[in-house]
Amino acid sequence: MPSFQQRKAVGDAHEQRIAQELTARGWAVNPWGQGVLTQPVQAALRQTDSSLRWTPDLLAAKEGRVALIDCKSSMTSRATHRHAIESAAVDAHLQLVAWTRLPLYYVFDNLDVLTPYDALTAGQTGPRSVRTGSGAPYLLVPTTLCRPFDTVFGPRRNPSVASDAA
């Protein structure tokens, strides 16, 4: 089982890629969520059941639109073609959407996009996590129900320039 620091490094790289993809489409992007907190605060927050544990990773704006982005790395099964989202995250994100009145999007490694509502309505309860050791319940959502990144966030401003991650 990978360590927290190994998982965090993969997650940080995914967040950076998503920020670059959004920027290439004209979005202004700021880091948000636990990633901007100090290590002691992050560690303490992980020990609680507060909804703050699930604060999205990025805040993006374009032409008066604001969106919350939660980057999901290594959360897709290649065998079953389903994305996994922790149930507690979906619950917290539905509350956050209601409170902020802003859209929230999950963005996966392959740039698939889902909303918390998509996960709630289309997701099936999966087994408890063995990968992270948390034992947390997950919702499994078929990749066929996802929206394409370009449909949600617009096309790249210069489509002839290939993505760094491609």
Residues 6+ apart with CB under 8 A from 147: 112, 113, 114
What pLDDT does residue 130 have? 46
pLDDT tens per residue across span 86-105:
999 999 999 999 999 999 99
Do residues 106 and 83 touch, judged by C-beta distance below 8 A? yes
Residue for token digits 């990968």?
131
User: What mean pLDDT is reported for the chain?
Assistant: 88
Tokens of 73: 């790395």
Mean of pLDDT values over 110-118: 96
Residues 6+ apart with CB under 8 A from 39: none
What pLDDT does residue 127 have? 72
Three-state DSSP state, 156: coil
pTM (predicted TM-score): 0.86
Residues 6+ apart with CB under 8 A from 135: 128, 129
What pLDDT does residue 160 have? 57
d(CA 68, CA 104): 5
Domain 4-153: assigned CATH number: 3.40.1350.10
pLDDT tens per residue across span 35-66:
899 989 989 998 998 999 999 999 999 999 99
Q: Integer distance in angstroms from the first to the last C-alpha of the chain? A: 27
Mean of pLDDT values over 65-88: 91
What pLDDT does residue 110 have? 93
Domains in the chain: boundaries: 4-153
Q: Is the pLDDT of residue 131 over 60?
A: no
φ, ψ at 89 (rounded to 5°): -65, -45
